């Protein structure tokens, strides 16, 4: 799964040991080069690394872990949260040539760096916060508060909905022409994964589902989600589309999805690229026959 399987030891046992972390921050330590939140790549499209001497002293350093025995860090540039957010197209152009292990490593680093940039102040009392545990925590500077904050991950359900051998897929206005994907939505407070799947499908397409089951998951660093892939059975084929969420939703046959995955231009749809869990879910579904 793309963005999963980073070849790095997160070295949790070192995060809470300031002396051990300080000892790792020597000439042998590696600094992941970032342009804001975008990866800086070489002429071969690979991630590039520098030394900690390149880091802005006004910024912060996040400890990513140990890679081949070397300590790896990522920079949180000062004022990063106020910089323009790179477009998805620009990010993917930079990421497209990365190997899967590098994508996983970069994706995790991006999530952490972005979280630090956006959490400079305590959500409890409003005072400033300081980086702690090598970048896996922020602590409020107010001694009367001292709240501890931790990097968050937003759970998102993404689901294939099946009825009599056909799949329900939808498209948003921002999708390329003819592109359809699995329905998806954030898990809300107080919900199970199964409840979130049922609610989102009904809200977006007016379909009631049952038999929800987990299939696979994928980290998704835009900005910091965990995509939870599921499969569900629809109780009917009748659709009531929420046009505020979807431009269209349709039922597709197995043959149509097979053709789309094979790149057949005559297929009535195109599907998400390999890097997206929606693509992997469609492959999984075809293999269940």
* pLDDT tens profile 118-159: 999 999 999 999 999 999 999 999 999 999 999 999 999 999
- Burial class (CB within 10 angstroms; exposed 0-12, middle 13-18, buried 19+) of 53: exposed
Q: Which domains does the chain have, with CATH numbers?
A: 12-112 (no CATH), 154-287 (3.90.79.10)
Residues 6+ apart with CB under 8 A from 22: none
Secondary structure (3-state) at 113: helix
Element (H, E) at 256: helix 254-261
pLDDT score, position 88 = 77
pLDDT score, position 73 = 98
What Cα–Cα distance (Å) separates residue 189 from each residue in 120, 185, 225, 237? Answer: 24, 13, 15, 29
Residues 6+ apart with CB under 8 A from 16: 133
* pLDDT tens profile 51-80: 999 999 999 999 999 999 999 999 999 999
β-strand partners of 130: 139
Per the CB < 8 A criterion, the answer to whether 33 and 113 are in contact is no
Per the CB < 8 A criterion, the answer to whether 153 and 224 are in contact is yes
Other residues' Cβ atoms within 10 Å of the Cβ of residue 26: 10
Burial letters 177-193, b for 16+ CB under 10 A, else e: eebbbbbbbebeeebeb
Residues in the chain where the model's pLDDT stays below 70? 289
Q: Are strands 60-67 and 70-76 parallel, antiparallel or unpaired?
A: antiparallel
> pTM higher than 0.75, yes or no?
yes
Report how far residue 204's alpha carbon sits from residue 183's, in angstroms, rounded to the nearest whole number: 8
pLDDT score, position 81 = 84
pLDDT score, position 91 = 83
Q: Which of 7, 124, 104, 144 is nearest to 65 (CA)?
A: 7
Report how far residue 137's alpha carbon sits from residue 119's, in angstroms, rounded to the nearest whole number: 10
pLDDT score, position 41 = 94
């Amino acid at each position: 799964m793309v963005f999963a399987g980073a070849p790095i030891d997160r070295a949790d046992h070192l995060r809470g040991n300031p002396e051990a972390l300080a000892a790792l921050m020597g000439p042998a330590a590696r600094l992941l080069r970032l342009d804001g939140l975008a990866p800086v790549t070489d002429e071969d499209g690979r991630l590039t690394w520098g030394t900690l001497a390149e880091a802005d002293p006004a910024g912060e350093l996040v400890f990513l872990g140990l890679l081949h025995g070397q300590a790896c860090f990522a920079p949180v540039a000062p004022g990063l949260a106020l910089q323009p957010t790179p477009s998805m197209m620009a990010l993917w152009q930079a990421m497209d040539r990365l190997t899967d292990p590098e994508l996983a490593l970069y994706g995790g680093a991006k999530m952490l760096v972005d979280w630090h940039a956006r959490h400079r102040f305590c959500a409890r009392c409003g005072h400033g916060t300081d980086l702690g545990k090598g970048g896996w925590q922020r602590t409020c500077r107010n001694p009367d508060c001292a709240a501890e904050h931790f990097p968050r991950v937003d759970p998102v359900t993404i689901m294939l909905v099946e009825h009599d051998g056909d799949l329900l897929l939808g498209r948003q206005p921002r999708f390329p022409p003819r592109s359809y994907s699995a329905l998806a939505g954030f898990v809300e407070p107080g919900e199970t994964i199964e409840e979130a799947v049922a609610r989102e499908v009904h809200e977006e397409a007016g379909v009631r589902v049952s038999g929800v089951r987990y299939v696979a998951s994928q980290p998704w660093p835009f900005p910091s989600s965990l995509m939870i892939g599921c499969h569900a059975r629809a109780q009917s084929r009748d659709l009531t589309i929420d046009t505020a969420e979807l431009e269209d939703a349709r039922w597709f046959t197995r043959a149509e999805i097979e053709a789309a995955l094979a790149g057949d231009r005559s297929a009535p749809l195109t599907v998400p690229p390999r890097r997206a869990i929606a693509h992997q879910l469609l492959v999984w579904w075809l293999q269940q026959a």
